A and B are shown apart, each in its own frame.
Chain A
């Protein structure tokens, strides 16, 4: 229900009158491109992203002298089509980032709810744990997990899942502290609700907005982090196509085949920009009073 309000500006009852917030069309466009390539990767991509053609290695993009229309963004050192790899790579990015968000979001939201609602000693323990957690560098944990589990997309999801919850927990706790004082919580208790039910069916729906906003903002961050991990060789492994991995592979040829790093980089920028712009807009629209971070 809350989500429907995004589009019906008339019904919104804000405390102060504000001008209409202009939707970020650029952000929508970027996200549109991204999701288009995620959904229709098999249809759009001109070649199999894994299949190399050793007779046609490092062909430059079409607008350069030796470029050909057959490979619009050129090919890499194994003769794989860059465009196809980028398009298929979007799937990996989305899979990993959504996996991360779901994983640590659910941990963070649960802990935040418990912390905020129970208060007292429970709250203190969880929040100090969160402080402690934030002081751990994620990359060290990733190294550790990668050496135990072997580097893969799953390892990245696991790492972020373990490392990412404190942010969520803090925000959710803050919201929960305010909400638990509200009359409807008291009414629920008067009706004999258990604390668990109050937390999950009365308080949680009231913070869904915040959670969604958080998620859109964090997704951009995670995509960059995933690319970084793959670049370092700790994430997805060849031959699967991941933008960070493409950057890492193209790095050695940067002097004479710059398109190998340029285009995956642009893909990352577009996606992150899209998520961030949309996330900012959602924040403005869904929750004008709220200040996140």
Chain B
């Protein structure tokens, strides 16, 4: 299990320290990621949950150092990968890492691949750029497709992406992600674009692959059920900040932050009929105009005076469970 504190720990594969990423637009600065700190241990599967626009994807792109240019920029913070600061690396050094040690699975498989190149040509790219081609590249691609259980890989390798179904495209993308057995795999909503049965298969596949390769995985999603299936730990993000970190059991049994409570509460439970699903009142804050103090305070039912004034410090509740909320901070 990883350690979720601020201190540097030798066992951590990845550690983010107070990372801030902003977009500079004509309307002003958009603080998409505003001081995020967390750590991922080796072989750990961590879920990063939060609603749309809370900064999950930008956090992951920051780790890859692929924040859309020129509007976006990582302003401050340290991103330690194997105890080396990625912020200090040159673009060339980053390219050596990408697709090799750090890899990513993109959200929408149907548009993520170049429609004019065959699946095989694209699958081979991580091998080629990192000089990992041994023997026939084509064979390596076929093996990769076999690993992710694409039927008839010998034939499929020459197909174009539009000849693949959604689930198969996602498998191919996963194959590309794991091609070089990365230490860290970031999966950005890998199942959002798929229907439920295919999503379940893809998750199962990811689980198997994780067991096989011992990669660490950051699973970005807004689906708590997905998290429950494969993650060991959860990070909850709200408006550009991590509000709660907990192990999966603690999170489902005992969520601490009012936002997490709301999230868990809004998931329907099988066999317990309800008229209307619970929803958290209000809207997430506009990124242009962040509330002073706790970002969740305008929607929080238990907000106190100080919640509106100051951002709460991170409080450790028990082992591996920390929350940023004044309710737990004491005085």
Contacts and interface: CB of A to CB of B under 8 A. Distances in A.
Contacts of B179: 191
Contacts of A193: 95, 99, 125, 129
Interface string A193-214: 1100100011001100000000
Contact of B111 (A184, A192, A194, A206): A184
B116 A187 contact: no
A1 B98 contact: no
Contacts of B173: 187
Given A192-B125, A202-B117, A205-B117, A187 B160 contact: no
A183 B104 CA distance: 12
Interface in B78-107: 95-100, 103-104, 106-107
Contacts of B116: 1-2, 205-206
A119 B179 CA distance: 31
A202 B129 CA distance: 14
B186 to A, nearest CB: 9
Contacts of B112: 183-184, 186-187
B111 A191 contact: no
B70 interface: yes
Nearest to B69: A119
Contacts of A202: 114, 117
Contacts of A148: none
A191 to B, nearest CB: 4
Contact of B125 (A2, A120, A188, A206): A188
A18 interface: no
B106 A194 contact: no
Interface of A: 1-2, 119-120, 182-184, 186-194, 197, 201-202, 205-206
17 contacts: A120-B69, A183-B106, A183-B108, A183-B112, A186-B66, A187-B112, A187-B113, A189-B98, A190-B64, A191-B98, A192-B97, A192-B99, A193-B99, A193-B125, A194-B95, A202-B117, A205-B116
Interface of B: 64, 66, 69-70, 95-100, 103-104, 106-108, 111-117, 122, 125-126, 129-130, 160, 173, 176-177, 179
